[in-house]
Amino acid sequence: MKTIISLVLVSFVTLVSGSFVCAEEILRQEGELIIKFKAQSQSGEEDILKVLADIISFHHLKNTLEEEKEVKVLNSYAWANIHHVQIPEGETLEHMIEEIKKLDEVEYVEPNYLFHVGASTEAMDYQEAAVQSSASSGGTQSGQALASGGQSVTVAVIDTGVDYTHKAIAPYMWVNTGEIPGNGKDDDGNGYVDDINGYDFVNNDSDPYDDHYHGTHVSGIVLSLQDSLNPVIKIMALKFLSKDGYGSTGDAIRAIDYAIKNGAKVLNNSWGGGGYSQALSDAIVASYNANRVFVVAAGNSSIDVDQYTSYPPSYLIPNMITVAALDSSTNLAWFSNYGPISVHVGAPGVSIYSTLPHQKYGYLSGTSMATPYVAGVAAMMLSQQPELMHLQVKKIIMDTSVSNASLQGYIGRGSVEPEDAVTVASSTTPDTNIPPYEASSAPPSWGSVAQKGGQAGMGCGMISELYADNDDFTSSSGMSLFFLSWPLLFVLMLKIFLLNRRQKFVFRQF
Ligand code: CA
């Protein structure tokens, strides 16, 4: 009996903390900063090294060449005048930020924040399934295959990578035709050597293979929207989340930059977290200016993101489509974030069957799974009408979605209707004039809350559902056996939580 009570207690504590698990700490990459110089300064790499070396030498009262070399520019983005730098050991980020801020040439400087693919309970989310016979191309259940035969559209899956050898994915991988595989050269001059199917920004190599499983599952959902007889979607694998599910602002920006420059029209972002990052916001604005559709997971903290900041959803850049997760009855999933301003539509996100690495399939739940559904719909629309503007794609997806009583007041519109969206898109005249980007009219308190890091929840993309007894996944998850022993209790507690929450909803609605 004692054991049961303590199990209940542990479950309860985990349940309570689980709601906030993504909000506990804003993680950052030690020793790294992201700096934006003002437009007029046009600082090259040499100038940045000099400026930073000056600060350091002031601090150390030394000015040797060796020390100057300790500062390393990891990446530079000319389109935004943003530079990702590594500072020497012994320098604190706080000191560097404080000093760099004083410089006239600098518009802003910020830490390199870390993101995570899901909550700490990720080991429970995986349930392997036998391959189901399915009419859809990817062998996944999420999408209804849409009849089409349009132009090929590339979807960048900015995630943990993709198992590009999976039989349901391999034929639909994006291929960089300007690159000769394995010759050790950057044949197309895009800055990356041998980048055939995308790139791995975590390990800095040309192999974006999925050493987690999240990105492979997401990719299968994107592909599930197309008709296997007339495939039009290509997956560009951009790995910026590690095998443990972590990634940084700097690498997210590189992935977004790569997607824009290499022709992906739709960017799938089933991840979230971090503090407010002006640099990440600038990268999303760059995708806006390049006419890309930027699809974002609302997050799984069960919070109102109109009230509490959660990134990326709270950036509110107009080409973003932020997606909530719905259950099979098109009700808001219990874990899904919501907010009628920040969250635009809902899509299936509970127990979604899709591809997993090593020719496997399985079920996962989360706004991570709802997001690629919408990315797939956007790609199908663009295959029919390639010149559509991002805001047209978004408007059609929102206008054709169907709301119901349970969604009203929680998400901006309703449940995405793929067939209607594609039909309307194919008969819509493209408007190629992209309006200039104007910052969203977010409540002033948002900015200040965000700057202080006082957010209520991060946009974790994936939630746990059912635990796996599969060795491949439990062993890599690093979770102890103890934690794997109470999922049923956990689910039971969640159901109690869900019931209570639903009742509150009823009171609010009446
Ligand atoms: Ca290349």
Helix (H) or strand (E) run with residue 115 in it: strand 106-116
CA distances from 348 to 93, 123, 256 (A): 41, 21, 25
Least confident range of 60-69, 176-185, 260-269, 412-421: 60-69
Give the distance (Å) from ligand 1 centre to CA of residue 230: 29
Helix (H) or strand (E) run with residue 73 in it: strand 72-77
Q: Which CATH number fits domain 28-113: 1.10.630.10, 3.30.930.10, 3.30.70.2860, 3.30.70.80?
A: 3.30.70.80
Q: 15: closest CA among 495, 490, 492, 405? A: 490
* pTM, 2 dp: 0.76
Amino acid at 291: N
Strand partners of residue 33: 85, 111
Give the distance (Å) from ligand 1 centre to CA of residue 333: 41
Block residue for tokens 């479950």: 11
pLDDT at 140 exceeding the cut of 90 = no
Every domain of the chain with CATH number 3.30.70.80 lies at 28-113
> What per-residue confidence (pLDDT) applies to 451?
34
pLDDT at 169 exceeding the cut of 80 = yes
Extract the tokens encoding 169.
Answer: 């994915």
Give the distance (Å) from ligand 1 centre to CA of residue 231: 26
pLDDT at 457 exceeding the cut of 60 = no
Residue 159 annotated to the active site: yes
> What per-residue confidence (pLDDT) applies to 424?
97
Q: Whole-angstrom Cα distance, residue 479 to residue 485?
A: 11
Band of the pLDDT at 337, cuts 50, 70, 90? very high
Q: 84: closest CA among 55, 113, 63? A: 113
Give the distance (Å) from ligand 1 centre to CA of residue 178: 7
pLDDT at 145 exceeding the cut of 80 = no
Give the distance (Å) from ligand 1 centre to CA of residue 79: 19
Coil, helix or strand at residue 103: coil
Helix (H) or strand (E) run with residue 23 in it: none
Give the distance (Å) from ligand 1 centre to CA of residue 181: 10
More confident site: 162 or 124: 162
Report whether 163 contacts 358 (CB < 8 A).
Answer: yes
Give the distance (Å) from ligand 1 centre to CA of residue 198: 9
> What per-residue confidence (pLDDT) applies to 70?
66
Q: What is the pLDDT of residues 8-36, one digit of tens each?
A: 333 333 333 333 334 446 788 888 888 88
Q: Which of 159, 200, 282, 304 is catalytic?
A: 159
More confident site: 446 or 185: 185
Average per-residue pLDDT for the chain: 77
Residue 188 annotated to the active site: no
Q: Which of 84, 166, 214, 390 is catalytic?
A: 214
Coil, helix or strand at residue 348: strand
DSSP string, 199-214: EETTTTBS----SSSH
Give the distance (Å) from ligand 1 centre to CA of residue 166: 24
Q: Whole-angstrom Cα distance, residue 104 to residue 372?
A: 42
CA distances from 34 to 2, 247, 310, 349, 405 (A): 51, 15, 20, 34, 44
Indicate the fold that domain 120-173+205-428 takes in CATH. Answer: Rossmann fold (3.40.50)
> What per-residue confidence (pLDDT) applies to 59?
44
Every domain of the chain with CATH number 3.40.50.200 lies at 120-173+205-428
Give the distance (Å) from ligand 1 centre to CA of residue 223: 25
Q: What is the pLDDT of residues 101-134, one digit of tens each?
A: 887 778 888 888 887 775 323 333 556 666 654 4
Q: Whole-angstrom Cα distance, residue 177 to residue 190?
A: 12
> What per-residue confidence (pLDDT) applies to 148?
57
Residue 217 annotated to the active site: no
Q: What is the pLDDT of residues 377-422, one digit of tens each?
A: 999 999 999 999 999 999 999 999 999 999 999 999 999 999 999 9
Q: What is the pLDDT of residues 282-307, one digit of tens each?
A: 999 999 999 999 999 999 989 999 99
> What per-residue confidence (pLDDT) applies to 159?
95
Give the distance (Å) from ligand 1 centre to CA of residue 145: 33
Q: Which of 368, 383, 464, 477 is catalytic?
A: 368
Give the count of beta carbons closer than 10 Å to the beta carbon of residue 317: 20
Report whether 342 contacts 311 (CB < 8 A).
Answer: no
> What per-residue confidence (pLDDT) applies to 491?
41
Contacts of residue 256, defined as CB under 8 A and 6 or more positions apart, other chains included, come to 158, 267, 283, 284, 286, 287
Give the distance (Å) from ligand 1 centre to CA of residue 284: 23
Band of the pLDDT at 473, cuts 50, 70, 90? very low
> What per-residue confidence (pLDDT) applies to 358?
95
Band of the pLDDT at 261, cuts 50, 70, 90? very high
Q: Whole-angstrom Cα distance, residue 52 to residue 48?
A: 6
DSSP string, 231-273: --EEEEEEE-S-TTSEEEHHHHHHHHHHHHHTT-SEEEE--B-
- Mean pLDDT for 237-248 is 93
